[in-house]
Amino acid sequence: MPPPQKISPRKDAPLSPSRKYRPAPPVWAATVTCVVQVCTRRLPQLVLCGVLGVFLAGCHTGGSGGGFAGLMGKRKDDTGLPQRHSVAADQLVVMSNLKLGAHHPLVEELKVLRNQVHDTLQLPNDKDGEKVTVYLFSNEMEYRKYIQETYPGLPFRRAYFIGTPERLAVYTFWGDKIREDLRHEYTHGLLHASLRTVPLWLDEGLAEYFEVPGAQPGTVNNEYAVRLAGAVQSGWRPDIHRLEQLEKVEQMHRADYRESWAWVHFMLHSTPDGKQVLLDYLQSLRDTDHPDLLSNSLIAALPETEARFLNYVATLNTYRQWMSTPAPEQFTGTKRNETISRANAP
């Protein structure tokens, strides 16, 4: 039986690499499901993260007992994985039966993303650090077959991030959401390559934050900003303490992903003190399996934290320079006409 793993799934929609897609306005409506073990990744454990569409989102913890065994199939090796071509760059390895090329725009974007994650969060910028391997299947059928045979206990998702004591890996297929999926899942991989543990809500908030493409990190998730502003006007109030207690998929809902994203955006962009609280907390996660609550440090550093947060999110959708905008066609390959863009979320 393969060792326990960290897993992260994403949405569904196939795309042939030979087809062109005109990018639709990027409405980043991510409803993510995640199974996250808040402890050292190298211990027997399961962490599952991804998107369930627009109905339910959350994270779930799996350990080394029967719960994890129920997910595993009979496959004991790497048969069925795409391995014909490989591209390596820093901490990224892409394995695929499609020849993308070392300078394919998708590879180049993930290289830039890695630098953005490390620079923004001040993580160790060791290009020889633990690799994150992306297994990019040619189509949905091949991907679905592999996941069903290897992890029959998992529901179908467009992508999974799986971390084991042996490797950090992302599994997905060539689809019209490939850009969004890989940005999200690769962020999970980079976090777990650098940190001993990541609390569920923060793991997802950071992945949602870096999922949105932009010249600089911090591009606003349009849908989240609009919904949060409306919620504030309707009397909604944040509750970071409740987020910090969430551990299972049935506990976490779509609004929790929006709020987690908003807390990350608030800490990184509202004040220098808020940013330093987050950076210091992430540094502490490099050395401990049992971190303190981030909210304790945040409230101590920022008096009237809730009022500041509410004022911030109430106006996020007015910062047009941060809003995600339609991008030109992207990811056009050389060997074949390959175009991928982020389509509207359902």
The whole-model pTM stands at: 0.78
Residue at token pair 């080394």: 64
Q: Is the domain of 189 the same as that of 117?
A: yes
Q: Is the residue at 175 inside a domain?
A: yes
Q: Is the domain of 256 the same as that of 177?
A: no
Q: Which region among 143-152, 165-174, 266-275, 328-337 has the lowest average model confidence (pLDDT)?
A: 328-337
Predicted confidence band of residue 22 (pLDDT cuts 50, 70, 90): very low
Predicted confidence band of residue 276 (pLDDT cuts 50, 70, 90): very high
Retrieve residue 70's tokens: 């129920």
Percentage of the chain lying above the pLDDT 90 cut: 55
Give yes or no for residue 91 having a pLDDT over 90: yes
Nearest-angstrom CA–CA distance, 8 and 50: 5
Q: Is the domain of 104 the same as that of 207?
A: yes
Residue 249 pLDDT: 54
Count of domains in the chain?
2
Give yes or no for residue 176 having a pLDDT over 70: yes
Nearest-angstrom CA–CA distance, 328 and 62: 41
Residue 134 pLDDT: 97
Q: Is the domain of 62 the same as that of 193?
A: yes
What per-residue string of b and e applies to 21-40 under the rule 16 or more CB within 10 Å gives b?
bebeebbbbbbbbbbbbbbe
Q: Is the domain of 129 the same as that of 227?
A: no
Cβ 246 vs Cβ 201: under 8 Å: yes
Q: Is the domain of 55 the same as that of 180?
A: yes
Burial of 73 from C-beta contacts in 10 A (0-12 / 13-18 / 19+): middle
Give yes or no for residue 33 having a pLDDT over 50: no
Give yes or no for residue 331 having a pLDDT over 70: no
Q: Is the residue at 333 inside a domain?
A: no
Q: Is the domain of 65 the same as that of 90?
A: yes
Give yes or no for residue 24 having a pLDDT over 50: no
Cβ 164 vs Cβ 5: under 8 Å: yes
Predicted confidence band of residue 6 (pLDDT cuts 50, 70, 90): low
Q: Is the residue at 145 inside a domain?
A: yes
Highest-pLDDT range among 25-29, 35-39, 196-200, 338-342: 196-200
Nearest-angstrom CA–CA distance, 304 and 300: 9
Q: Tell me how far CA of residue 316 lies from CA of 88, 120, 213, 214, 220, in angstroms.
A: 37, 20, 17, 16, 8
Q: Is the residue at 331 inside a domain?
A: no
Q: Is the residue at 13 inside a domain?
A: no
Summarize the confidence of residues 308-327 as an average pLDDT.
74
Q: Is the residue at 22 inside a domain?
A: no
Q: Do strands 32-34 and 58-62 pair parallel, antiparallel, or not at all (unpaired)?
A: parallel
Q: Is the residue at 21 inside a domain?
A: no
Residues near 337 by Cβ (< 8 Å), separated by ≥ 6?
18, 20
Q: Indicate the average pLDDT of the chain.
A: 77
Q: Is the domain of 39 the same as that of 125?
A: yes
Give yes or no for residue 293 having a pLDDT over 80: yes
Residue 77 pLDDT: 67
Nearest-angstrom CA–CA distance, 301 and 97: 50
Q: Is the domain of 229 the same as that of 142?
A: no
Condensed to tens digits (0 to 9), the pLDDT of residues 101-134 reads 899 999 999 999 999 999 999 998 887 789 999 9
Give yes or no for residue 4 having a pLDDT over 90: no
Nearest to 190 by CA among 117, 265, 280, 281: 117
The domain that contains 206 carries what CATH number?
A: 3.40.30
Nearest-angstrom CA–CA distance, 91 and 88: 8
Give yes or no for residue 26 having a pLDDT over 50: no
Summarize the confidence of residues 67-83 as an average pLDDT.
67
Residues near 174 by Cβ (< 8 Å), separated by ≥ 6?
14, 15, 16, 17, 98, 136, 137, 138, 139, 340
> 193 or 59: whose pLDDT is higher?
193
Q: Is the domain of 193 the same as that of 117?
A: yes
Summarize the confidence of residues 224-248 as an average pLDDT.
94
Q: Is the residue at 99 inside a domain?
A: yes
Predicted confidence band of residue 251 (pLDDT cuts 50, 70, 90): confident
Q: Is the domain of 110 the same as that of 183?
A: yes
For the chain, where are the E strands, in sequence order? 32-34, 46-51, 58-62, 85-89, 92-96, 132-137, 159-163, 168-173
Nearest-angstrom CA–CA distance, 318 and 222: 10
The residue from 172, 187, 211 where one domain ends is 211
316: containing domain = 222-322
Give yes or no for residue 83 having a pLDDT over 90: yes
Residue 79 pLDDT: 84
> 137 or 154: whose pLDDT is higher?
137
